[in-house]
Structure 1
Amino acid sequence: MDYEVGRICNSFLLDGLSSVPLNTDIVSLEAQVPLVPSGELYTIVRTRSNVRDLRLENNIGIDDNVVIVSLPLLELEVPLSAQLEFMQRLAYRIPSVPSDETLIVSLESTSNFGVNSLFLRFNDVASPHLFDSASQGQLSANQTVVITPTRQGEYYLLVQNNGVLDNRESYNPSTITLSAKIAAFEIMDIKPRQVAPLGMVTISVEGTVFPEDIYAKIRNRESGFELDAVEVFRFSSQELFATFDLSSQTSGHLLI
């Protein structure tokens, strides 16, 4: 696959009566290397014009010198800190991911005003348009992306800043902490955080590795009283909805 680095527009003089080139131009291009997979790359130059060309074989050139591209590593269970600028993109490789597991990558930012996104892709660089999984948090600085089941090999992570929540706020470069891990059974978030003991209440539970035969219960932290869910709907291995009858409960702190 080819990745475009840039384009140069140049004019030339064409004389159909002469077989000798009238002018020779040497042009150069300086550009940032696009997001590409790690490896050895070659530079290719192609020419295009609006003049009919009967010798297409001389319209392409390949450099014999190799350009080695190596993206930074984000190791499993090894947090990594970085600086994220306004509208900046950062790319990483996550090596040695085992198969048939659940991979979780999280981002924590020191800025509360930035809007960030995460994208994961197997064996190739991710983009906002080409990815296997993307973070779901809208308009948030801290993000999490989950992919399950995994394939054995390397995953590429794209970190992208999309601006700020409030245009009145100026964005200063923020320190982000990235972490990748193979998930175990855990609860990551519940919604809502506050309910009234007035009858049936449905709670959304987000986490990882939820089995198909999962059940849910809540426990009063003060009294230790436990209450089983009336109904549990498992939407996926990462999300479920549990309905509880709280009509007989009193106020207190509940654990699920």
Structure 2
Amino acid sequence: MKLTVAFQGELGAYSELAAREFFHADVEVAPKPVFEAVFRAVESGRCQRGIIPIENSLMGSIHQNYDLLLRHRLHIVGEIKLRIVHTLIVNPGVRLGDIRRIYSQPPALAQCEKFIKSLRGVEVIPAYDTAGAVRMIKEENIRDGAAIASAQAAADYSLKVLKSGIESDHRNYTRFLILSKKKAPRSSHAKTTVVFATRNVAGVLFKSLSVFALRDINLLKIESRPIQGRPWEYFFYLDFEGHADDSPCRKALDHLREIAASLRILGSYEKGREADGRVHKR
């Protein structure tokens, strides 16, 4: 029986491409309108896995998904870093000079800013999803507009790729997390994600991070998010090398529990590889 993987967006979205690269295409996918619905689908058991973007190499973190990781009781069980190649997609017969409007998700529009500026007099119109923008220009037969999305979305809706690789920086990657109700199997090349809050005392963040330095544990990322209802207090999300059950990591986390006001392990999982999103046949 194939796994069912929930993702936010329409078929052809980059999240779907990341899911197929991570699971080697042997999955059923379940598009969801919002990120919250991805979490709910996995929690309810309707989907065995979920996939969410957590950060982009050019635009930074997706803060909403950090907040959802804390709000829901799921485990991070994997990651993949997908290279994002944006394409300009139009209805057949539309030429570059015909384009007066470009539709896409705001991060995609921002990542293609240089290309968009090269087209004079073009209006930028945000859409909720990259692939959703492609579906819209087809369904409405828009002849003076284009969408920015993946080549997969163009293939899915039988539209034309006018230009490919229009992102401002070609080293454009999005890191996606895989979510599950169960923990990941132990990996020898693991990383761990935790979230903790500190007490409001001098030097507490320095002490919190020192528990890892004392044991030569490499920190990979730190992200702060405000605690709702407590202005100017923060949760800290931390990625570090190693599995939570490894002796040095376990001792560091025990030490951190003595310092922090709260601590939760979000998951230990295998370090993700970089991948190019291929066009898959339906």
User: TM-score interval w.r.t. the shorter chain?
Assistant: under 0.3
TM-score (norm 2): 0.18
TM-score (norm 1): 0.19
- The structure having more radius of gyration, on CA atoms, is 1
Higher strand proportion (structure 1 or 2): 1
Higher relative contact order at CA 8 Å, sep ≥6: structure 1 or structure 2?
Answer: 2
